[in-house]
Amino acid sequence: MSVNPLFSEGLLQHIWQSGLFNHQHLVTTTGEPVTIFHPGTLNRHAGPDFTAAHIRIGRIEWVGNVELHYRSSDWRKHGHHRNPRYDNVILHVVFEEDVPMKDLPCLELQHRIPKMLLQRYAQLREQAAFVPCVPLLPRVPAEVWPNWKSRLLEERLERKTGILMNWLQQNRFNWEEVCFRAMAQGFGMPVNTEAFVQLVQSIPFMLLVRQRLDLRRLEALLFGQAGMLSGNFTDPYPRDLQDEYRFLQHKYRLESMPAHSWQWLRMRPSAFPTMRIACFAALLHSMPHLFSRLLEVEALATLEQLFFVEPSPYWELHYRFDIPSVRTTGIGTATVHHILINAVIPLLYLYGHHMGLPQYSTRALRFLQALPAEDNHVIRGWGEVAVTAATATDSQSLLQLKQYYCETKRCLECGIGISLLRDTTS
């Protein structure tokens, strides 16, 4: 019997851990009755697959480790018989016993696992649709979604706040500086995120603090560090910024970014890096102590208004230096919501948790629940398979699900996948 390429050790672990096999008249391959009181705890480190299992084999109760393999011959093939880590294994669980086990009780499961479970798992692994379980989604009970989406949202916030925590540790917990970096990251999304982060990392924070009361100097510093003030300009304004930046660059020994770090293609003019930097400068200029202000705001409408900033007058008729335009538009509602979801809310959530002030974490979640769902190709894709997002909490959960579970086919770790596999045994 050849090994099914879609039958993974992870699937066998999931079947054992969840008890998705026929337990009636359970016996070892030598005929000893088996009772499973507890399957053990999955071990993600070196050694046996499950630890602290509680099992009765024959008349003796055992507490120890359980090892799983597709075939019983894998025990010797993997060298477990020579590894002291496996001395406390009390049961060898296999899909197929191809070689009799002499010194270790063996439990074979191939005739006890529902064929539908294996077929559904294969279907999930082979499916090339938007998400692997598209044909099976109508089978998912409605009550499964809320708990799983809540877990996904928690994971997404943990991932975002983890980045912020690293920044805090780097700058000795200067929350204003981390706020400045988080806002830059938000203004750069989705395609210029790395470039915006590189930009703010190239400017000493105290230098930024000293310049942000003067919008012209602040723009000169940001555009100059972004590598956008090199070359010969026709308009007086970029020439003026260029002169100002040369002074700052010489005085503070600054090194600008390469101009090619920025992406311009396939985006609306209002999302051009120049416009985002101009709006970012206007925000920093209008609120010198931005993080303190964010902590004060309790109403979402007030929070939104903080970010509807007007850039300096030059940008009323330009999207790029030296290229005139009709009346331009500054930062829009969708962009403001994007910044709130990806920068402001994770920052408030982290502050509440880290400082032991749960009112800020609660407020962050309230803001997220009140914001509309994001509109992007992933959320539209979910909508096409009848999984809708009403609020930003929904869209953030579905983005996490698609990116970190569906695209990598982690069906055995997904609440939806587990529900679909469990359904095959009922």
pLDDT digits 0-9 by tens, 386-401: 999 999 999 999 999 9
Phi, psi (degrees; rounded to nearest 5) at 324: -65, 155
Say which residue, 34 or 46, is predicted with more confidence: 34
Phi, psi (degrees; rounded to nearest 5) at 27: -140, 155
Question: What b/e sequence results for 295-312 when a residue is b if at least 16 CB atoms lie within 10 Å of its CB, and e otherwise?
Answer: bebeebeebbebbebebb
Query: From the CB of residue 353, how many other CB atoms can be counted at a distance below 10 Å?
Result: 17
CA angle 338–342–343, rounded 5-degree value: 110
Q: What is the pLDDT of residues 289-303, one digit of tens each?
A: 999 999 999 999 999
Average pLDDT of span 329-357:
94
Using CA atoms, how far apart are residues 13 and 375, in angstroms rounded to an integer?
A: 38
Peptide bond into 204 cis (omega under 30): no
Rounded alpha-carbon distances, angstroms, from residue 302 to 296, 297, 298, 330, 423: 10, 7, 8, 18, 47
Tell me the residue length of the chain. Answer: 426
Among 79, 81, 33, 80, CA closest to 60: 33
> pTM, whole model, 2 decimals?
0.78
Burial of 410 (0-12, 13-18, 19+ CB in 10 A): middle
Lowest mean pLDDT among 12-16, 30-34, 360-364: 12-16
- pLDDT of residue 1 exceeding 50, the answer is no
For the chain, which residues make up each domain, given as ranges? 9-113, 174-340+362-370
Query: From the CB of residue 419, how many other CB atoms can be counted at a distance below 10 Å?
Result: 18
